[in-house]
Amino acid sequence: MLDCAPMPTPMSHSSRLSSTDNVQLNEEESSTYRRLIGRLIYLTNTQPDIAFSVNNLSQFLSSPTKHHQQVVFRILRYLKGNPGSGIFLHKNSNNQLRGYNDSDWATYSGTRKSVTGFAIFLGESLISWKSKKQPTISRSSSESEYRALAATTCEIQRLTYILKDLGIPYIELAILFCDNQSAIHIASN
């Protein structure tokens, strides 16, 4: 992979993964795939931009296909093109928490479960993020977005307690951004 061309994104937006995508990998290739996914999971501690893609690929550890392997290689090509991207903690930022959340309704074709994703900043510094399959099936995109909103709110509350325990004062209330109007109305009700 040293001579490969870099990619601008870790995963194609139109890429939908399933266990019946393509030709199954042989045992040696499957073992290599599992090791790569393990290393990428570890790398998500400092590279939150690959969290969603690695989460998707880790669903197929038991029976990876050639298509899954190609997506892993795309992530590696993305990492090659972005060696300096990661977490940057600003020295002179304010102490306001800002959360951004989103949900992808019924992402997984087999289970119809949605994915929650959020990123929380302290000032200009990213301090918490998550991309996780929701535990229950949502009946609408509004319900899925509301569950993501609730998960992000819980994380902001947890971070508020941690900041208080560390003696870090926060001057302004936390701000939570959501892009679904019906979920906002449900939450305000």
pLDDT tens per residue, range 35-65:
999 999 999 888 888 888 898 888 889 889 9
**CA-CA distances (angstroms) from residue 95 to 98, 162, 167, 168?**
10, 13, 12, 8
DSSP tag of 32: H
HSE-CB at 77 with a 13 A cutoff on CA atoms is 16
The pTM of this model reads: 0.72
- DSSP, collapsed to helix, strand or coil, labels residue 92 as coil
DSSP tag of 49: G
Q: pLDDT at residue 107 above 70? A: no
Beta carbons of 130 and 54 less than 8 angstroms apart = no
**Which of 82, 107, 104, 97 minimizes the C-alpha distance to 128?**
97
- DSSP, collapsed to helix, strand or coil, labels residue 51 as helix
pLDDT in the model for residue 108: 62
pLDDT in the model for residue 144: 87
